Amino acid sequence: MTNNGNDSTGAPHKTQWAMFSVEDLADRWNCSTRHVYRMADEGRIPKPIKLGSLARWPRSVIEIWESEGCPKVLDNTGEQPNV
Protein backbone atom coordinates (compact mmCIF):
# COMPACT_ATOMS: atom_id res chain seq x y z
CA MET A 1 0.00 0.00 0.00
CA THR A 2 1.39 3.41 -0.91
CA ASN A 3 1.32 6.53 1.27
CA ASN A 4 -0.26 9.30 -0.77
CA GLY A 5 -0.04 11.94 1.97
CA ASN A 6 -3.36 11.00 3.52
CA ASP A 7 -4.02 9.78 7.04
CA SER A 8 -5.96 6.63 7.91
CA THR A 9 -9.28 8.42 7.34
CA GLY A 10 -8.26 9.45 3.82
CA ALA A 11 -7.97 13.13 4.77
CA PRO A 12 -4.76 14.89 3.74
CA HIS A 13 -2.42 15.70 6.63
CA LYS A 14 -0.43 18.90 7.04
CA THR A 15 3.18 18.58 5.92
CA GLN A 16 5.87 19.42 8.47
CA TRP A 17 8.09 21.89 6.61
CA ALA A 18 11.68 22.53 7.69
CA MET A 19 11.04 26.30 7.73
CA PHE A 20 8.35 28.45 9.34
CA SER A 21 6.87 31.42 7.49
CA VAL A 22 5.84 34.56 9.36
CA GLU A 23 2.22 33.41 9.00
CA ASP A 24 3.11 30.02 10.54
CA LEU A 25 4.68 31.71 13.57
CA ALA A 26 1.82 34.19 13.96
CA ASP A 27 -0.64 31.26 13.98
CA ARG A 28 1.59 29.25 16.36
CA TRP A 29 1.85 32.15 18.84
CA ASN A 30 -1.63 33.61 18.27
CA CYS A 31 -0.39 37.07 17.27
CA SER A 32 -0.16 39.21 14.15
CA THR A 33 2.50 38.85 11.48
CA ARG A 34 3.60 42.42 12.26
CA HIS A 35 4.20 41.42 15.88
CA VAL A 36 6.42 38.51 14.75
CA TYR A 37 8.52 40.90 12.63
CA ARG A 38 8.67 43.39 15.50
CA MET A 39 9.91 40.70 17.91
CA ALA A 40 12.60 39.68 15.40
CA ASP A 41 13.67 43.32 14.93
CA GLU A 42 13.91 43.76 18.71
CA GLY A 43 15.98 40.58 19.20
CA ARG A 44 13.22 38.87 21.17
CA ILE A 45 13.12 35.89 18.78
CA PRO A 46 15.76 34.38 16.48
CA LYS A 47 16.38 36.36 13.30
CA PRO A 48 14.85 34.96 10.12
CA ILE A 49 16.75 33.74 7.11
CA LYS A 50 16.01 36.01 4.17
CA LEU A 51 15.23 34.26 0.87
CA GLY A 52 14.90 37.18 -1.51
CA SER A 53 12.01 39.16 -0.05
CA LEU A 54 10.78 36.20 2.03
CA ALA A 55 11.60 35.65 5.70
CA ARG A 56 11.80 32.08 6.98
CA TRP A 57 12.73 30.66 10.37
CA PRO A 58 14.27 27.16 10.59
CA ARG A 59 11.84 24.89 12.45
CA SER A 60 14.67 23.39 14.53
CA VAL A 61 15.87 26.84 15.68
CA ILE A 62 12.37 27.90 16.77
CA GLU A 63 11.64 24.59 18.51
CA ILE A 64 14.95 24.70 20.42
CA TRP A 65 14.40 28.36 21.32
CA GLU A 66 10.89 27.57 22.61
CA SER A 67 12.14 24.54 24.59
CA GLU A 68 14.71 26.81 26.29
CA GLY A 69 11.91 29.07 27.53
CA CYS A 70 12.02 31.68 24.74
CA PRO A 71 15.07 33.60 26.00
CA LYS A 72 15.85 37.02 24.58
CA VAL A 73 18.18 36.55 21.61
CA LEU A 74 19.89 39.98 21.51
CA ASP A 75 20.14 42.82 24.00
CA ASN A 76 19.47 46.41 22.93
CA THR A 77 23.08 46.83 21.75
CA GLY A 78 22.73 43.98 19.27
CA GLU A 79 24.99 41.72 21.36
CA GLN A 80 24.19 38.30 22.77
CA PRO A 81 23.03 38.73 26.40
CA ASN A 82 25.30 37.37 29.13
CA VAL A 83 23.36 34.65 30.86
pLDDT tens readout for residues 26-77: 999 999 999 999 999 999 999 999 999 999 999 999 999 999 999 998 765 5
> Is 52 inside a domain boundary?
yes
> Is 45 inside a domain boundary?
yes
Provide the pLDDT for residue 74: 76
Total structural domains within the chain: 1
Contact yes or no for 65/45 (Cβ under 8 A): yes
**CA pair distance 74, 47, nearest whole angstrom:** 10
Range of the domain at 25: 19-67
Sheet holding 19-21, edge to edge: 19-21, 54-58, 49-51
Confidence of residue 78 (pLDDT cuts 50, 70, 90): low
> Is 6 inside a domain boundary?
no
> Is 32 inside a domain boundary?
yes
> Is 43 inside a domain boundary?
yes
Amino acid at 40: A
> Is 46 inside a domain boundary?
yes
pTM above 0.75, yes or no: no
